[in-house]
Amino acid sequence: MKKLLMVLTSHDQLGDTGEKTGFWLEEFAGPYYVFKDAGYDITLASPKGGQPPLDPKSDDASTDTEATKRFRQDSEAQQALSTTDLLSDVSEKDFDAVFYPGGHGPLWDLAEDAHSIALIESFERAGKPVSAVCHAPGVLRHVKDMTGKPLVSARRVTGFSNEEEEAVGLTYVVPFLVESELKAKGADYYRGDAWQSYVEVDGMLVTGQNPASSEATAKAVLKLLAD
């Protein structure tokens, strides 16, 4: 059975706003079921292990999708989510690919996490798919390729756009803007219309722009694994 690793944030504070953040439910649930329905054995991990914080704004009827509704009825998936492995305990050699769901949380912890950075670098060196959606492409900011250059340098990538960040009113709250940071690291950043599904695939690097892109990003990973 093919094995897939999903890495979630453990960060729950939205800057200095006093509001909560975390991972975005659709960006976890959509890909989770894409992989599960394709027969993958899924392991969940986070920096602190255990239950990752859920962005409360994503756990709302207005943002519901078929996948989020399914998750709420799925006690097995809820149990898996509540008992994520410690990120420092997982190894690239045990998996065929890695997927990072977004939400604002990863910008604070996973983007700076030494274990996460080393893990992505090991997947890259092994020629295995590295994938991230929405804010999660921000976790690539310190990741280097085998030559020591930024992994995203001269690569086609996407991620949450500055326009979308402005629309949710968090441009001056987040530690960095995903679009601006990817460009600063030399990436060829592309995007679609705001809030519409858009995915970039460059070699074994797969990135999705926003919540609407989550399932399409996961499907692009499956295609790489099938090929």
- Using the predicted structure, report yes or no on whether residue 227 has a pLDDT greater than 90: no
Which residues have CB under 8 Å from 158's CB, separation 6+?
137, 189, 190, 191, 192, 198, 199, 200, 207, 208, 209, 213
Contact (CB, 8 A) for 123 and 98: yes
Structural domains present in the chain: 3-226 (3.40.50.880)
Q: Using one digit for the tens of pLDDT, what is the confidence trace for 82-99?
A: 999 999 999 999 999 999
Residue 118: predicted pLDDT: 98
Phi and psi for 167 in degrees, rounded to 5? -65, -30
Residue 61 binned pLDDT confidence (cut-offs 50, 70, 90): confident
> DSSP secondary-structure letter at 192?
-
If you search the block for the tokens 């950043």, which residue do you land on? 189
Contact (CB, 8 A) for 189 and 182: yes
Tell me how far apart the terminal alpha carbons of the chain are, to the nearest angstrom.
16
Strand partners, 208: 133, 199
If you search the block for the tokens 């519901």, which residue do you land on? 64
pTM (two decimals): 0.98
- Look up residue 15 and give its amino acid: G
